[in-house]
Chains A and B, each alone.
Chain A
């Protein structure tokens, strides 16, 4: 409880917009959080990371946005209504296809290359924005480094990447979610069960991971996520 209160106070200091009464927060980290496949409907929550992502793109149309959460009507509608072109792929599906569910299988260089080719086979400097959502935390170190290096190539200078990472660096499994954009600062989050994490993350390791990018900005949310905006 004390830890939760501490996190909450940190979060208020950082200017996080409270989640509305109609949009209950996701369960915090406890034992039940780690149980797989809770069948519940989507819950809406504010996302400072998403707000910042769209704030950085505002006033521009015809941008190329990569959405790696799999194609969804809401995300496509929202992005295309802003006048952007959407590129879609489902990274989590591809992770399972290439490596199975165990992150320890993500060290085979041939498979890593196949994964990169399957999901990021685009010309250099194609994208003005990329939405990775929470998929990066299920990648092992070798795969994640290769993915980040490839993203740096296919994103344009000054492009933005949005990624979510779980705050708790002690858990072996974290919830996987689907994310649907409701508006430029609200997402609908649906629990898709838990997965083994590929590695643990803290601010320092994330800054190191994105060392080749221009800047890394963190938003700590009340549902124990680090929302990270990375500028190419």
Chain B
């Protein structure tokens, strides 16, 4: 794995992890920062507060849960985003999508269902109530291959 982002120009390099295109991960990935997938992943990807980008060389056979999911490559599995799913022209996605918003470019191949779920409105903060704790992501990457194998070069 490298931490050099090259897929998302506006990503902050300090807060983005990348699975390089020669890397295969089998297992569960949890991350508290943005994640670019240019290699292979089998299992699950979870990054609840952040963005997951499947690059053009990315091949994912996994369920993906994130705040935002951008797909340029191939995904087979369900995708769940609290904010937005963005499927680009070259992408191929087979699986069910649950999201608040979706963008899909003409030419993208998609087979599955789309369920739009708007986020529930946050309860009004009453005067004198304690402030919500900060949800700032940790500076460190927490990508782990937990289940069936470790990252390996192909």
Q: Specify which of B103, B105, B113, B116 is in contact with A88 (CB 8 Å cutoff).
A: B113
Residue A225 at the chain B interface, CB threshold 8 Å: no
- CB <8 Å contact, A89 and B111: yes
- CB <8 Å contact, B104 and A73: yes
- CB <8 Å contact, A88 and B115: no
Residue B123 at the chain A interface, CB threshold 8 Å: no
Residue A34 at the chain B interface, CB threshold 8 Å: no
- CB <8 Å contact, A87 and B113: yes
Residue A23 at the chain B interface, CB threshold 8 Å: no
**Residues of chain A from 77 to 126 with CB closer than 8 A to chain B in the complex:** 80, 85-90, 93
Q: Say how far A216's CB is from chain B's closest CB, in angstroms.
A: 27
Residue A167 at the chain B interface, CB threshold 8 Å: no
- CB <8 Å contact, B109 and A90: yes
- CB <8 Å contact, B116 and A80: yes
Q: Which residue of B lies closest to A180 (CB)?
A: B106
**In the complex, which residues of chain B have a beta carbon less than 8 angstroms from the beta carbon of A89?**
111
Residue B108 at the chain A interface, CB threshold 8 Å: yes
Residue A215 at the chain B interface, CB threshold 8 Å: no
Residue A132 at the chain B interface, CB threshold 8 Å: no
- CB <8 Å contact, A76 and B114: yes
- CB <8 Å contact, B104 and A85: no
**In the complex, which residues of chain A have a beta carbon less than 8 angstroms from the beta carbon of B113?**
64, 85-88
Q: How large is the interface on A (under 10, 10 to 19, 20 to 34, 35 or more residues)?
A: 10 to 19
Residue A71 at the chain B interface, CB threshold 8 Å: yes
> Please, how many angstroms separate the alpha-carbon atoms of A64 and B113 in the complex?
9
- CB <8 Å contact, B114 and A80: yes
Residue B112 at the chain A interface, CB threshold 8 Å: yes
**In the complex, which residues of chain A have a beta carbon less than 8 angstroms from the beta carbon of B110?**
70-71, 88, 90
Q: Which residue of A lies closest to B102 (CB)?
A: A76
Q: Specify which of B87, B106, B111, B114 is in contact with A85 (CB 8 Å cutoff).
A: B114
Q: Which residue of B lies closest to A72 (CB)?
A: B106
**In the complex, which residues of chain A have a beta carbon less than 8 angstroms from the beta carbon of B105?**
73
Interface string of B4-41 (1 = CB under 8 A from A): 00000000000000000000000000000000000000
Q: Which residue of A lies closest to B115 (CB)?
A: A85
**In the complex, which residues of chain B have a beta carbon less than 8 angstroms from the beta carbon of A80?**
102, 114, 116
- CB <8 Å contact, B106 and A88: no
**In the complex, which residues of chain A have a beta carbon less than 8 angstroms from the beta carbon of B106?**
72-73
- CB <8 Å contact, A71 and B104: yes
**In the complex, which residues of chain A have a beta carbon less than 8 angstroms from the beta carbon of B104?**
71-73, 76
Q: Which residue of A lies closest to B93 (CB)?
A: A71
> Please, how many angstroms separate the alpha-carbon atoms of A129 and B110 in the complex?
19
Q: Specify which of A73, A76, A88 is in contact with B111 (CB 8 Å cutoff).
A: A88
Interface string of A168-182 (1 = CB under 8 A from B): 000000000000000
> Please, how many angstroms separate the alpha-carbon atoms of A71 and B87 in the complex?
10
Instruction: List 26 contacting pairs A-B, 8 Å CB cutoff, sorted by A.
Output: A64-B113, A70-B109, A71-B87, A71-B108, A71-B110, A72-B106, A73-B103, A73-B104, A73-B105, A73-B106, A76-B114, A80-B102, A80-B114, A80-B116, A85-B113, A85-B114, A85-B115, A86-B114, A87-B112, A87-B114, A88-B110, A88-B111, A88-B113, A89-B111, A90-B109, A93-B109
**Beyond the given A85-B115, A86-B114, A93-B109, could you list 14 further A-B residue pairs with CB under 8 A, ordered by the A residue number?**
A64-B113, A70-B110, A71-B108, A73-B106, A76-B102, A80-B102, A85-B114, A87-B112, A87-B113, A87-B114, A88-B110, A88-B112, A89-B111, A90-B109
